[in-house]
Structure 1
Amino acid sequence: MGLVAGGLVVAVGGVLFMAGAETDDGESDDFSGDTSEPFFDPSQRDWGEGMCESMASLKALKTDSAKKADTFAGSPASVASTYLTSASSALEDISRKFAAVDSLTRIPDTERLRASYLREIDRVRPEVRELSDADGLAGLSTREKTGRAERVTSLVAGIKEPNPSWDQLLHDQWFEVAANSPGCVKVRQAERAKSNPSEPPEPVPPLPPAADGASLGACLDGACEVRVMKPEADIKVGGLTLEVTRNGSKVTVLHSYPSGGAVRVNLSEEGARGTFGRGGDATGTVTVELKGMNRNGAVLRINSSLPPG
């Protein structure tokens, strides 16, 4: 407790409340002991909220990168390319967020904390930008793109926490109050809601049986029934390649012709079908039917009337 401007300031859970302040003429002002409105120094509030939002963005990037680190091998090149683009963009945005937080030179630990984050991010940012450059990715093989994506996940994982960290500084009342600013509270609530959802997830309906299981190679002879479990997959049917993408409640099947152009079909309900041909004067078609899907995968039935070869 302490007297500030003639009023009593009470610290409750690290947030300051003004109670029972009196004006110079002895009359009570608009504040009351029951007020629930916290009293924050504006620069303290803005600094805390800017840091909380920046740290949350960095944490989200590191968590996402860690989850994807082992998923690139065996996946289409587009998976690695998409991650590289998004990770580089996120890192640039996080750097800008930290840089935008006001420097409070009168409290050295605030600037040391902010500057430490910036140094760590800027240490890896140039290499991430180079590895993710669209021009540099053009023409690379799937293995090379996968290698770049795995390198970026390693760089992101290597971003170190400052010493002392934000948590270690919370013993200081100034940092404790900053950590209880409205923006910081919202960040913590959002993180808790994401990691511990109050409502149980909806049950996933089972996929229908697939005669050939998850063996996409069974489609090569022109007749198969397979489970597609990855977000993206290439299925070869004779001499024709189907690019399959699962996205939310639909399955998209794309066939690109060597001479240019493509046919794209969206399958969003059980029994939906799409038909593809080789183009030109070639005879025969490939029919793809959606037998069923859930958020984990889809089952496709494929039949072909293409001539052999």
Structure 2
Amino acid sequence: MYKRQSVAVAAAAALIAVGGCGGGADESADEPAERSAAPAPAQPPSEELVEWVGGMCASTTALRAVRKDSAADLAEIRKPDKNGASAEFLAVGYLSRTPTGVDDVERDLKDLGPSGVPAADRLRDAWLKKLNGVVPELDKLSPSAAFDDAEGSAAEVDGLIQSLTPPDPDLPALTRKDPRLAAAHQRAEQCAPGWKPSESPATPAPASSGPLPEAADGRNTGACSDGECEILVTSAVDITANGLNVHVTADDDSVTFRTANTVMQLGGSGGVAEFGDDLTVTVVAQNEDGSVLKFTSP
């Protein structure tokens, strides 16, 4: 009895094993036992995110240009062309125009608003924190500092400008971690290699005014003591008009006015410099020979 049961159990086990193998083979032939899951298609980024990332790229590009230009300007101020403008003159222009580019970027980043992607918003906040530490310092430094220490004042500003490097992680690093940002970065035109902001149509240069008109008072700066005169300035001169001392420098394409508290620079196309209620100076004409200036007072 025991022997027959053992044989029956062994036979049944063999039959199950054969049946299992046969069933597995048939099932494999009809349909794969396991299928690889197809990746879900990536969702395209919203237009708002594309615009946000494009704005961030534009601001980053603008600051990179400001840093590059600042370094070049400082190098020129340190070693001015012997036949060109003086270090003081170059520094006045540099200190006057450089903060504007930084102010523009700060305004653009504030207008950008939140992106909806936490990591990207942290990047914007980090940029604004850097800018908030630099902009007030730039505002403290008057262009008139260039007359006291041209190289030192320019170096101080350049140090602030060069500190405006991208926070870590920057936008490219974030795009490698977030598919949404990567897709938006790919679609934003401002993020394309070599992109530059579109330039406004160039303003036509003013027509040559020809020879300078004759100044009513010639080169006689003493005629300006009462605040009313018209004189010719061909280089640098100190003028006292209506009790205000003004240092005037005429260059090929601009005139710079310096008082104890202010510095103003007017282009060769003319303009008016106002010194409170005390004095107004109008650039009547200018060319490479000098400037004809009309002083008036109330």
TM-score where L is the length of structure 2: 0.50
Specify which of 69, 82, 85 is matched with residue 96 of structure 2. 85
Could you tell me whether the CA contact under 8 Å between 1:52 and 1:183 is conserved in 2? no
Aligned length: 181
| Partner Cα distance (1:99, 1:235) in 2 | 43
Which string of whole-angstrom CA distances, capped at 9 and with x for unpartnered residues, describes residues 54-84 of structure 1?
A: 1111111111111112221353423212111
For residues 283 and 108 of structure 2, what CA distance do their matches in structure 1 show?
Answer: 42
SS of 1:71 mapped into structure 2: helix
Aligned to 2:136: 126
Paired letter, 1:245: D
Structure (1/2) with the larger helix percentage: 2
Q: Distance in 1 between matches of 2:290 and 2:47?
A: 63
Shift of 1:143: 4.0
Say if 2:146 and 2:153, in contact at 8 Å, map to a contact too.
Answer: no
Confirm or deny: 8 A CA contact 1:58 1:94 kept in the other structure: yes
Match of 1:110 in 2: 120
Change (3 A) 1:103 1:235: closer
Q: Quick check: 1:62–1:156 contact (8 Å CA) kept in 2?
A: yes
Name which of 242, 245, 250 aligns with 2:252. 245
Q: Hey, what's the Cα distance between the residues in 2 that align with 1:158 and 1:192?
A: 23
Displacement of 1:2 in angstroms is 5.6
Question: Which has the higher Rg, Structure 1 or Structure 2?
Answer: 2
2:56 is matched with 51
State how far apart, in whole Å, the 2-side matches of 1:192 and 1:97 are: 13
2-structure distance, mates of 1:275, 1:100: 44
AA in 1 matched with 2:128: L
- What letter is aligned with 1:180? Q
Q: Partner of 2:182 in structure 1?
A: 176
95 and 141 in structure 1: CA distance in 2 versus 1, 3 angstrom threshold: closer
Q: What's the secondary structure of 2:71's corresponding residue?
A: helix
Separation in 2, partners of 1:126, 1:48: 27
Question: Does structure 2 retain, via aligned residues, the 8 Å contact 1:235–1:243?
Answer: yes
1:71 is the counterpart of 2:76 = yes
Provide the secondary structure at the position in 1 that maps to 2:149. Answer: helix
Aligned partner of residue 103 in structure 1, secondary structure: coil
Give the drift of 1:244: 4.0
What letter is aligned with 1:159? L
1:266 matched residue in structure 2: 287
CA RMSD of aligned residues (A): 3.9
Does the CA-based 8 Å contact 1:54-1:97 persist in structure 2? yes
| Matches of 1:50 and 1:56, distance apart in 2 | 10
Judged with a 3 Å threshold, the aligned counterparts in structure 2 of structure 1 residues 42 and 142 are, in CA distance, closer, same or farther, namely same
Per-residue deviation at 1:160?
Answer: 3.0
Letter in 2 for 1:153: D
Consecutive unaligned residues in structure 2, runs of 5 or more: 1-37, 81-85, 199-233, 238-247, 255-267, 269-280, 292-298
Structure 1 residue 181, shift from structure 2 partner:
2.6
Partner deviation per Cα, 1:79-106 (whole Å, 9 max, x = no partner) = 212111211111111111111112134x
The structure-2 alpha-carbon separation of the partners of 1:263 and 1:110, relative to structure 1 and needing over 3 Å to count, comes to: closer
Are 1:97 and 2:118 counterparts?
A: no
Query: Retained in 2: the 8 A contact 1:44–1:178?
Result: yes
Structure 2: how far apart are the matches of 1:111 and 1:86?
Answer: 29
**Residue equivalent to 1:149:** 154
- After TM superposition, the structure 1 = structure 2 runs for residues 199-238 of structure 1, keeping only pairs within 5 Å, are none
Give the match's secondary structure for 1:190: coil
